[in-house]
Amino acid sequence: MSYCHRCSGNEANVYYSFGGSFKGVGDKLDLNNWEQDSTLAANGDGAARTSQGSQRSAHIMYKTAYLKHFHTGCLDVNFEPTPQPVPVPTFSPKPTVLQAPIIMATYDPALKVPF
């Protein structure tokens, strides 16, 4: 664990890296074809080296992923995903409007009310 962020320079002292990268030539499974991250190797300012063989981390990550894929196919990417059914729009039936029969009220003059 490091407390570099607590020193002068704060968060600028923290450098995010996987430690190295593939040189681009040769077999990626061979550690000799990987190089250290130059910023890590030179401590960011050309001072004494702070990391020895930092490319090993990146190489091990690659090798682990490659071997898992080789043995299990767990990293296979399906570029043609299974087509999903297209939903068919559904329409609700229109409500049936019932009309009440029109009835004329008759007025009873004796009771003075409609009936």
How many Cα atoms within 13 Å fall on the side-chain side of residue 86? 2
pLDDT tens figures, 11-39: 776 777 778 888 888 998 898 998 888 77
Tell whether pTM > 0.75.
no
pLDDT tens figures, 44-84: 555 555 567 788 888 888 888 888 877 777 766 666 777 78
- Enter the tokens of residue 114: 């409609």
21 in Cβ contact with 35 (< 8 Å): yes
Rounded Cα distance between 42 and 1, Å, is: 20
